Amino acid sequence: MTLTTRSIAAAAIAALTCSAPALAQESTDPIVIPTHNWSSQVVMSHVVGQIFEEMGYTVEYVSTDSQAVYEAVRLGDVTLELEVWEGAFGVAFSEALEKGGIVDAGDHNAVTREEWWYPLYVEEVCPGLPDYQALNACADKFATPETAPKGRFLGGPVDWLKHDQERVEALNMDFVVVNAGSAAALWAELAAAEKEGRPIVLFNWTPNFIEALYPGKFVEFPPYEEGCKDDPAVGPNKEMTYDCGNPANGYLKKAAWDGMEEKWPAAYAALTKISFTNAQIAEMAKLVDIDEMEPEDAAAEWLEANEDVWKPWIE
Ligand code: TMO
């Protein structure tokens, strides 16, 4: 960054915060935003990054493992995290909170679910769905040469740490868990199965672009309860953990390095106000996964179409 852009940035921030002492506190170091391996998170990261740039900050993006990121935020190696999904990252986030160095920067106005999911036509071959026991009763319908006679469950990339194998064992299900290498691989397999009308059960979540494209349902496992992941006594199997589904009404939070507020006060203030809805998050994913835009272009388009949503966050 040149000196001129630096002073423009400082002036922009001064105008925003309206006070000289606040100006002195704002660092010109880049705000580092981690990106992961699903589209809404990448687009949202660019949306927020571009908002920060509009405020005069410099922003850097770094592709980061979605579990390891909580340690990276805690240490200040990255500045924040924009999509803390309760189902996949609740445990890592809580552990990091306990260690210190990371703060809860508030919730999005969104309800999330991450779960085994099937396209609606599967109900024709598996009566009793979406109950997991009904799914298990027709496990062989999902068999492939590599899993037969058991059914194949297509899980997400391993860093989402869904513990599907543990769940299959704890609930005594006739399924083999196969992890997809990427989110794109999940959608490619879903598209191929749908074209042939072939049964498939795979990991999916909401908000996502999928609901706009394919009718389908989440499988209903024994409901999530606090303790199910680490206390065998919780859940129907008294000897094993992970004998439950993911939270059906999960949170979606933002998190920040605890030094962010002091180093970039106006950006931190904006971060605490930023809140996206299910529909907005699904739209961000759609711009990439259906419209095939690059994440930074998708973010720019989203910002242009939604000024009334985000401008108040930086006023
Ligand atoms: C973390 N994810 C939204 C992919 O389930």
Contact 146, 229 (CB under 8 A): no
Give residue limits of the domains in the chain. 3-11+23-111+250-314, 113-218
Q: Per the CATH hierarchy, to which homologous superfamily does domain 3-11+23-111+250-314 belong?
A: Periplasmic binding protein-like II (3.40.190.10)
Cα distances from 234 to residues 63, 91, 223, 240, in angstroms, run: 36, 16, 11, 9
For the full predicted model, state whether its pTM sits above 0.75. yes
User: Which atom of ligand 1 is found nearest the CA of 41?
Assistant: 3
Q: Which residue's CA is the nearest one to ligand 1's atom 4?
A: 38
| CATH dotted code for 113-218 | 3.40.190.100
Residue 48: its H or E element: helix 39-54
Per-position pLDDT tens, the chain of length 315: 344 444 445 545 545 554 444 444 799 999 999 999 999 999 999 999 999 999 999 999 999 999 999 999 999 999 999 999 999 999 999 999 999 999 999 999 999 999 999 999 999 999 999 999 999 999 999 999 999 999 999 999 999 988 999 999 999 999 999 999 999 999 999 999 999 999 999 999 999 999 889 999 999 999 999 999 999 999 999 999 999 999 999 999 999 999 999 999 999 999 999 999 999 999 999 999 999 999 999 999 999 999 999 999 998
273 alpha carbon – ligand 1 mean position (Å)? 23
Pocket lining: 81 vs ligand 1, CB cutoff 6 Å: no
